[in-house]
Structures are given as structure tokens and as C-alpha cells.
């Protein structure tokens, strides 16, 4: 068995750090908290974070192409998650920690 396969079998996690995209806007009050929490996870190596601001035309185009209409929205695990409540952010952070190969 390859080393990464045995790690996956033992932990239930793949060796890849998850890619996460966060859609934000400067006037969104919930976005600031989401940026802070997810940036911390990124600094810890739990996720690879890309922040897309919908304030500019390129961010607006990307959001439109992907059907993102609300901020903050996170793309993680192949799904889009709208963070309407603080608990939504807490839940997605915990999910990211469980999925990541990095122990935090």
C-alpha cells in the first residue's frame, strides 16, 4: 500500500489540502468575519483559500458564471454554502478542519 493510501485508511482523510473559494463584498458585514476565520485556516495550512470580491467586474463575472448571488458564499467540497448565520460559518469551519489532512 502506498504511503498516502495508508494515511487515508488510518485517518479517513485524503492527503490533499482542500481548495476553498470565498465570495465577498466590502460592504458585507458577515464577509469580514468569514474572511478572518477562513484566512486563519489558510495560515494554518488547513485549506487553500481564494477570496473573490464581487465589488469588481471580474469578481462579479465569476460569481455570475457560477450562480453565486449572495455573499458571503463559500465553495468547498464541491458545493456552495451561503453563510447566512454565524453558525453557518462555524459549521463550515469545523467541516473544513475534519476534511483537511492537517490536524488543528
Q: Which of 44, 21, 26 is nearest to 92 (CA)?
A: 21
* Residues 92/61, Cβ–Cβ less than 8 Å: no
Other beta carbons within 10 angstroms of residue 35's beta carbon come to 17
pLDDT at 70 over 70: yes
pLDDT at 5 over 50: no
pLDDT at 102 over 90: no
Give the predicted TM-score (pTM) of the model: 0.83
What local confidence, expressed as pLDDT, does residue 12 receive? 46
Tell which CATH architecture fits domain 17-99: 3-Layer(aba) Sandwich (3.40)
pLDDT in tens, 40-68: 999 999 999 999 999 999 999 999 999 99
Other beta carbons within 10 angstroms of residue 64's beta carbon come to 11
pLDDT at 7 over 90: no
The full set of domain ranges for the chain reads: 17-99
Give the range among 9-23, 25-39, 61-75 with minimum mean pLDDT. 9-23
What local confidence, expressed as pLDDT, does residue 13 receive? 52
Amino acid at each position: 500500500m502506498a504511503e498516502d493510501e495508508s494515511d487515508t485508511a488510518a485517518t479517513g482523510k485524503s492527503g490533499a489540502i482542500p481548495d476553498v473559494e470565498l465570495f465577498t463584498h466590502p460592504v458585507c458585514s458577515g464577509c469580514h468575519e468569514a474572511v478572518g476565520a477562513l484566512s486563519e485556516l489558510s495560515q494554518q495550512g488547513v485549506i487553500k483559500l481564494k477570496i473573490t470580491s464581487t465589488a469588481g467586474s471580474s469578481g462579479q463575472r465569476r460569481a455570475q458564471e457560477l450562480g453565486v448571488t449572495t455573499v458571503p458564499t463559500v465553495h468547498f467540497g464541491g458545493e456552495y454554502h451561503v453563510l447566512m448565520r454565524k453558525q453557518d460559518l462555524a459549521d463550515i469551519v469545523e467541516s473544513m478542519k475534519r476534511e483537511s489532512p492537517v490536524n488543528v
